[in-house]
Structure 1
């Protein structure tokens, strides 16, 4: 390709991944790749292999497949459908901004489309500069760093590496906080306002934070920034963590325990948002919206309202455009 015809750069959007289908077989294949990553589970390999293949992959796929089936759509899992919508919306917004087609390629850390496939798509566009945007507002070694590992592995056999820039996090980016606040205000305008706003983030083991993972502190900073933007008092909101796995201590407070306490205390209505996710997925739509609703109401709580993720909202896409502009100066 003539260098003058090449796009100035390409954008690689990265997210976690999803099974290919809501079936035990597809879920087993996905979980086998996801849970074998040392960034996700750092138990010594021989022991973890026995636990993973001897117990987890025998028990969990069937249950998880049923959960996926309950949220699966015509075009696949919610995460995949929304990620594709984000990809297309960002591509259109960048074309309007730059006056030319900027390649925006989607890759998943686990499953499809793979990093290798994304790399081939980018190379076919002729770009030699790549901006990597992991769709995780807060950095964690178990998510953002896992994208880095997976991309490095995909690029390892390449004879010529693209010039690469990396967006580590955007947990307090003004556009991100504004979009979150807009989504809450719009929800309240349509559905009324709860007694408390629970900002629930995916959890990690406490020892991860103890050894330096900044994720929990960035989650707390996001929650505080959102509360400030919304003008909430300390009694009106809380930052909590969901999705514990295993018996060890995880970052606290726990979302389910909080909802149990609030239910028993007779809280009339709680609104829940999950700012760690850029797109709704199984964890938000099934665990947070369904399981935790039951937990709250079973323990005496009143109304439970889940506020959707930012997904492909225009202000969310605008924030991504700002990230791209800020991180491609000189390209």
Structure 2
């Protein structure tokens, strides 16, 4: 069998294996135990995590997962697998031979080691690594780098690798986002304002140099320009706060409350930081924040799905891979 010129490693955050307190507890222990995610002193954070958080949160979070769980599993996992298959098909058609694409999760399964074994068995000796985070953050993209480096520890042969660290204003990404908004508006009408809600990070992370908030704002501005929106018709906001410290602002929920009180009739919400719909979009954005807006006086709330496995999203991934695999078209 002819060796592939390269392989692709797709990486997303991860998900519990089931919507149960036990599975959620195992997942949160790994996720929140990562220094990249929570950078508090280890001894203190261990006490808080294992003494308080993992005793309280799993049951509540499991209920949230159960409300969005599909028959075939976690939405994030199912959509990520669809993306993996679609990208492999797209690239293989382009190159006229199989281009292996493996999926790994930073936390949980499939692990980086499992994905690496799959790529080695397919004969890939050079890798393009695509973390599915359009905006680069120490808590996401850097965590993937750490996990990948750890997985290589026992490997006798280190593959050549090229990293896609972000694609926050990549033209095909912005176009795909704009296409999804236009198509939604065509089917469901257009709201008074478009909210672009990104997952938040603590404010001090930005002060330390994390590029994520700046890149989120750049994505939002580029999308607004592509859609021809004027000032006052859109906003970049941040969701999913955790803990007591200040996070980057403006906050999504606070903004929705203010808009509801102002009498904004309809708001459309999109979450460009997520490559696949997951708990934070399907439960927090689509359900919780809808209730927040309506309770504050708003009348109509529409959530625009993530890009998921849309053809233009897969084509964008392929274009990114091709650019980063330049010179690897043959053995």
CA RMSD of superposed structures (Å)? 0.6
How many angstroms does 1:126 deviate by?
1.2
How many angstroms does 1:74 deviate by?
1.3
How many angstroms does 1:121 deviate by?
0.6
2:35 pairs with 1:41: no
How many angstroms does 1:96 deviate by?
1.1
In structure 1, the residue matched to 2:203 is 206
Q: Tell me, in whole angstroms, the C-alpha distance in 2 between the residues paired with 1:145 and 1:46.
A: 22
2:182 pairs with 1:189: no
In structure 2, the residue matched to 1:251 is 248
How many angstroms does 1:123 deviate by?
0.8
Q: Deviations over 1:281-321 (max 9, x none)?
A: 00000001100000000010110000000000000000001
2:41 pairs with 1:54: no
Question: What SS does the corresponding residue of 1:301 show, helix, strand or coil?
Answer: coil
Unpaired segments of 5 or more residues in structure 1? none
In structure 1, the residue matched to 2:292 is 295
When normalised by structure 1's length, the TM-score is 0.99
Q: Tell me, in whole angstroms, the C-alpha distance in 1 between the residues paired with 2:11 and 2:162.
A: 14
Question: What SS does the corresponding residue of 2:219 show, helix, strand or coil?
Answer: helix
2:97 to 73, 96, 100: 100
Q: Tell me, in whole angstroms, the C-alpha distance in 2 between the residues paired with 1:129 and 1:244.
A: 38
Structure 1 residue ranges (4+ consecutive) displaced by more than 2 angstroms after TM superposition: none
Q: Tell me, in whole angstroms, the C-alpha distance in 1 between the residues paired with 2:290 and 2:71.
A: 25
Q: Tell me, in whole angstroms, the C-alpha distance in 2 between the residues paired with 1:305 and 1:273.
A: 9
Q: 1:152-163, aligned counterparts within 5 Å?
A: 152-163=149-160
Question: What SS does the corresponding residue of 1:330 show, helix, strand or coil?
Answer: coil
Q: 1:58-69, aligned counterparts within 5 Å?
A: 58-69=55-66
2:303 to 292, 301, 306: 306
In structure 1, the residue matched to 2:4 is 7
Q: Tell me, in whole angstroms, the C-alpha distance in 2 between the residues paired with 1:260 and 1:74.
A: 34
In structure 2, the residue matched to 1:27 is 24
